[in-house]
A and B are shown apart, each in its own frame.
Chain A
Amino acid sequence: MTPALIDDTTLYAVLAPFAAAVVAPVLTRWFKHNAAWPLAIVPGLIFLHFTGFIGPVSHGETFVAAKAWAPSYGVNFSVYVDGLSTLFALLISGIGTFIILYAGGYLKGHPQQGRFFSFLFLFMGSMLGLVLGNNLISLFIFWELTSITSFLLIGFDNLRAASRRAALQALVVTGGGGLALLAGFILIISATGEIEMSVLLGSPDIIKDTGLYLPIFLLVLGGAFTKSAQFPFHFWLPNAMEAPTPVSAYLHSATMVKAGVYLLMRMHPLLGETALWTTVLPLFGGVTLIVGTLLAVRQTDLKLMLAYTTVASLGLLVMLVGTSHEKALEGAVLYLLAHSLFKGCLFMVAGTIDHEAGTRDITRLGGLRSAMPITFAAACLASLSMAGLPPFIGFVAKEVLYYGTWGWLELGLAVTVTAVIGNALMLVIAAAVAIKPFFGPKVETPKHAHEGPVLLFAGPVFLSVTGLGLALIAHTTGELFVGPTLSSLVGEFKQIDLHLWPTKINAPLILSLITIGLGVALFTQLDRLRSLVGAVLAAIGWGPDKGFDQFVCGIVGFSGWLTRKLQNGKMQTYMMLIFIFTAVAVLLPGFMTGSLPAWPKLPDYRFYEWGILFIAVLGLIAVLIAKTRLTAIVSLGIQGFAVALIFMMFGAPDLSFTQFMVETLSVVILALVMTRLNLSPSDHRPAPAAFLTGVVAVAVGLGLTLTLLAITQQPFDSRLSDFFAQYSRAIAHGRNIVNVIIVDFRGFDTLGEIAVVVLTGLCVLALIRVRTKPDKDGGMSDPGPSQPQKVEAS
């Protein structure tokens, strides 16, 4: 079904958060933390806008809207609204509303609160642009923007080294993946000729038919796996918990890390259902699920426990999407919805506990249920959903996903076992998060714990109640949200029938009971399990996090080594390197392609022409045998003047004129430089060094000569000279073609060149002004590299 064109309101809805980001600091200056209330209206309105799509989308309709951005490259700012993007847009704007409120309470009185709001809004807009993105290039730009805003948010507390490291790590990992994704997108565009996602989705086999499926698959996976923290790229996500809690709740559980899963879901009709897809994705997803839950068990910090379970949940989602099995995909959609609700809520709960009690270490917390009853209630509801117990959306999700994995023929058993173990461990964490801080005897905390303000508990309460409500109206949930999203995943319209309570005793129900039993059993042994995992990790002693440090250190070390080698501060080394590379560059192509010029026949010169050539050679010989450096410089001038004369005789007066001036000034300036540097009057280098210089000089000279000969032996293409000769007078009103080219036809080149001249002048001036004298023969640069360049340009 072809998407219907809609008006630009949806485009403005995507851009609205960017506008909010601009006004946020001002509002925060006026209303302090209460600015959260007016600011939350923005995502609230966006949410309302997207609720308008729920009805049509559930009937299988899709919509597009577009504005030209860079039309010559086919880049549009365009949105594609279908079941999947509507679900994501609703999650982003809905949870975003409460995150803004929560941030108002959490960072109350923080001097940079306005900036924080700004960053959150920037992220919100980027994320909306990503999930609604239709044009691959604009989708990629928003994808990168989420990485950048995530960097800003993780590093918000930029005075702490840990924050800075975590921010940089997240940026390097997700940004690196983003580059892979860009390459993948470009491959898609060049292989299929299409740039709009909606068009690509219209013909699902378009990529599989190109023969470039494998590279595209791997590159897209590179982007998705880094963003969604799949093993072995999972390490950046727990480190990102350095960010303030609203960020963790929003970016690193509910939205941004789901971008990778979103991409896999979005591309599923195009890339899925192949042997490669159903092998690689379940494998990585399954490993991530188990590794994530085990690492979560080991933690005692509430936020870190939740962070690792987020890694695990992302693994579960990737695993389910990897099955390409319709029922498992339905489970993935439900779990995605459930996870966003309960994890966002639990993160905010963890933040509230930290905020009010002063610690979030579960071994130092206890008995908070009477002090923080509302937060406790929210935590209970969310944890029950996370544990997969009825009557919560988490339970419904688990039932469906077990149904799917159990019914998947290829690797169903392995995937099911992985899912059961993962879910059991997830239940352990859910129980630990809900029970440890709130039950048991009251433990003395760093701050006197009490219930937080409404700004802090509004979000958790609403999200956890939604998790309950959506389960109670399971049928409607399935009809309005899960069905349309599933339709996007499988590429055809699907309607599903969802129930909260299982209608009969079947495999999923039994698997659920096993999960609960296993989970409860493991929870009673939590401390033992924790020390066991700790011991195993200590035995391994290496992880990707450490590997990242080694990688970064390696790169820094290598660049340092290379820089010290190449830029050792000695002028001779620089000049030598430059000339060696010049020699290679001019000599190598001729020898490699066998296009060396033929031996030129002796030209028929008049005697005075021979005379001038003789003077030039004489000047050169004088340079070589000169006793002192000053004599050598002047002799070089003789050679230069001879060349200028040659220019003059062969009809290039401008060139000759310039050459005269450049030679004169070069000799003057070199002589002045000579007197300033305390050089000995003559050259005292040992013979081998002088010989090496000679070899390089001859090589460069030979190379340039051969190149010039080869060029002049080609037939002369007179199109340019004809053009200039014809139009110089006619349209540029000048008879001097050289000058007309410089100031008019190619004036833009000249503008660049004179900018270089100015900069060179400034640099040389700065160099001369350096009072501390550099060592004897280093530190002085050629006074005007742009002059010979100019001569060539003429």
Chain B
Amino acid sequence: MRTIIFRTIAPYLSALMVLFSVFVLLRGHNEPGGGFIGGLIAASALAIYGIACGVASVRRAIVFHPMGVSGFGLFMAALAGMLSFFKDQAFMTSQWLIFHVSDVEVALSTPLVFDIGVYLVVVGAIGSIALALEEREAD
């Protein structure tokens, strides 16, 4: 598997995939995409990088343990739902903050935060499974 071509291309490919996954995540509310798909793409990126360059370098690259990322995502998603408490509304009532930067409409919302949470959960969980399996392959 670890041909020179694959090892050379893999870092760029992974970086592109992660970038693409963020793109898919952010466009999700209006176009096909979203946190779940984005998370799967990013997890694939981690898996490919792991196969090509070893699990150790992936772990170095993402700094945090993937399971921690996953847990943080869940925490973030739950927290996004709780923001509505401040306005005395039911759990997960969506809150929107829409403003304009010159001509572009920027919409920040709790569903977006929630979706980022989903993204992190999926990256972390699937990524950590893949990495753990690859790691055992190495030892």
Residues of A at the B interface (CB closer than 8 Å) are 653-654, 657-658, 661-662, 664-665, 668-669, 672-673, 675-676, 732-736, 738-740, 742-744, 747-748, 750-751, 754-755, 757-758, 760-762, 764-765, 768-769, 783-784, 790, 794
Q: Are A665 and B44 in contact (CB under 8 A)?
A: yes
Which of B70, B77, B92, B133 gathers the greatest number of chain A CB atoms within 10 Å? B133
A-B contacts besides A768-B129, A769-B132, A783-B129, 20 pairs, CB < 8 Å? A653-B32, A657-B32, A665-B44, A734-B29, A736-B31, A736-B32, A738-B34, A739-B115, A743-B28, A743-B114, A747-B81, A750-B118, A751-B77, A751-B114, A758-B70, A758-B124, A761-B125, A768-B133, A784-B126, A794-B36
Residues of A within 8 A of B83 (CB): none
Q: Are B32 and A654 in contact (CB under 8 A)?
A: yes
Q: From DSSP, what is the main secondary structure of chain A's interface residues?
A: helix
Residues of A within 8 A of B129 (CB): 669, 761, 764-765, 768, 783-784
Residues of B within 8 A of A764 (CB): 129, 132
Residues of B within 8 A of A735 (CB): 29-31
Interchain CA distance A755-B78 in the complex, whole Å: 10
* Interface members, chain B 23-37 (any A CB < 8 Å): 28-37
Q: List 9 A-B contacts (CB under 8 A).
A: A676-B137, A736-B29, A743-B112, A747-B81, A750-B114, A754-B122, A758-B70, A761-B67, A765-B67
Q: Are A733 and B107 in contact (CB under 8 A)?
A: yes
Q: Are B77 and A657 in contact (CB under 8 A)?
A: no
Interchain CA distance A743-B112 in the complex, whole Å: 8
Interchain CA distance A747-B84 in the complex, whole Å: 13
Q: Given known contacts A653-B32, A743-B114, A757-B122, is B109 in contact with A672 (CB within 8 Å)?
A: no
Interchain CA distance A593-B70 in the complex, whole Å: 45
Residues of B within 8 A of A760 (CB): 125
Select from chain B the residue with minimum beta-carbon distance to A673.
B133
Q: Given known contacts A653-B32, A658-B37, A672-B134, is B107 in contact with A665 (CB within 8 Å)?
A: no
Interchain CA distance A665-B107 in the complex, whole Å: 32
A757 partner, pick from B28, B125, B132, beta carbons under 8 A:
B125
B109 partner, pick from A658, A676, A733, A783, beta carbons under 8 A:
A733
Q: Are B29 and A733 in contact (CB under 8 A)?
A: yes
Residues of A within 8 A of B117 (CB): 754
Interchain CA distance A751-B29 in the complex, whole Å: 17
Residues of A within 8 A of B73 (CB): 754, 758
Q: Are B74 and A768 in contact (CB under 8 A)?
A: no
B121 within 8 A of A: yes
Residues of B at the A interface (CB closer than 8 Å) are 28-37, 40-41, 43-44, 47, 67, 70-71, 73-74, 77-78, 81, 91-92, 94, 96, 98, 107, 109, 111-112, 114-115, 117-118, 121-122, 124-126, 128-130, 132-134, 136-137
Residues of A within 8 A of B126 (CB): 665, 761, 784
Q: Given known contacts A673-B133, A742-B34, A743-B118, is B28 in contact with A758 (CB within 8 Å)?
A: no
Residues of B within 8 A of A790 (CB): 36
Select from chain B the residue with minimum beta-carbon distance to A734.
B29
B80 to chain A, nearest CB (A): 9
Q: Given known contacts A758-B121, A768-B133, is B44 in contact with A657 (CB within 8 Å)?
A: no
Q: Are A768 and B136 in contact (CB under 8 A)?
A: yes
Q: Are B107 and A654 in contact (CB under 8 A)?
A: no
Q: Are A669 and B34 in contact (CB under 8 A)?
A: no
Select from chain A the residue with minimum beta-carbon distance to B75.
A758
Residues of A within 8 A of B98 (CB): 733
Residues of B within 8 A of A669 (CB): 47, 129-130, 133
Residues of A within 8 A of B28 (CB): 736, 739, 743
Interchain CA distance A47-B137 in the complex, whole Å: 74
Q: Are A758 and B125 in contact (CB under 8 A)?
A: yes
A53 to chain B, nearest CB (A): 42
Interchain CA distance A743-B43 in the complex, whole Å: 20
Residues of A within 8 A of B133 (CB): 669, 672-673, 676, 768, 783
Interchain CA distance A742-B77 in the complex, whole Å: 12
Q: Given known contacts A673-B133, A736-B28, is B128 in contact with A765 (CB within 8 Å)?
A: yes
Interchain CA distance A657-B92 in the complex, whole Å: 27
Select from chain B the residue with minimum beta-carbon distance to A780.
B133
B78 to chain A, nearest CB (A): 6
Interchain CA distance A122-B79 in the complex, whole Å: 37
Residues of A within 8 A of B81 (CB): 747-748, 751
Interchain CA distance A742-B117 in the complex, whole Å: 12
Q: Are B132 and A768 in contact (CB under 8 A)?
A: yes
Residues of B within 8 A of A747 (CB): 81, 92, 94, 111, 114
Residues of B within 8 A of A658 (CB): 36-37, 40
Select from chain B the residue with minimum beta-carbon distance to A671.
B133
Q: Are A762 and B67 in contact (CB under 8 A)?
A: yes
Interchain CA distance A569-B97 in the complex, whole Å: 53
Residues of A within 8 A of B92 (CB): 747-748, 751
Q: Are A740 and B74 in contact (CB under 8 A)?
A: no
Interchain CA distance A204-B87 in the complex, whole Å: 50
B138 to chain A, nearest CB (A): 11
Residues of B within 8 A of A662 (CB): 40
Q: Are A657 and B33 in contact (CB under 8 A)?
A: yes
Residues of A within 8 A of B130 (CB): 665, 668-669, 672
Q: Are A758 and B74 in contact (CB under 8 A)?
A: yes
Residues of A within 8 A of B31 (CB): 735-736
Residues of B within 8 A of A762 (CB): 67
B50 to chain A, nearest CB (A): 10
B39 to chain A, nearest CB (A): 9
Q: Are A665 and B121 in contact (CB under 8 A)?
A: no
Select from chain B the residue with minimum beta-carbon distance to A768.
B132
Q: Are A744 and B94 in contact (CB under 8 A)?
A: yes
Q: Given known contacts A743-B115, A768-B133, is B96 in contact with A758 (CB within 8 Å)?
A: no
Interchain CA distance A662-B37 in the complex, whole Å: 9
Q: Are A757 and B33 in contact (CB under 8 A)?
A: no
Select from chain B the residue with minimum beta-carbon distance to A648.
B32
Q: Are B30 and A654 in contact (CB under 8 A)?
A: no
Residues of B within 8 A of A748 (CB): 81, 91-92
B25 to chain A, nearest CB (A): 10
Select from chain B the residue with minimum beta-carbon distance to A653.
B32
Select from chain A the residue with minimum beta-carbon distance to B65.
A765
Interchain CA distance A734-B107 in the complex, whole Å: 10
Interchain CA distance A654-B43 in the complex, whole Å: 17
Q: Are B33 and A665 in contact (CB under 8 A)?
A: no
Interchain CA distance A664-B43 in the complex, whole Å: 11
A675 partner, pick from B114, B118, B121, B137, beta carbons under 8 A:
B137
Q: Given known contacts A761-B129, A765-B129, is B29 in contact with A742 (CB within 8 Å)?
A: no
Q: Are A739 and B91 in contact (CB under 8 A)?
A: no
Interchain CA distance A128-B46 in the complex, whole Å: 63
Q: Are B40 and A665 in contact (CB under 8 A)?
A: yes
Interchain CA distance A739-B28 in the complex, whole Å: 6
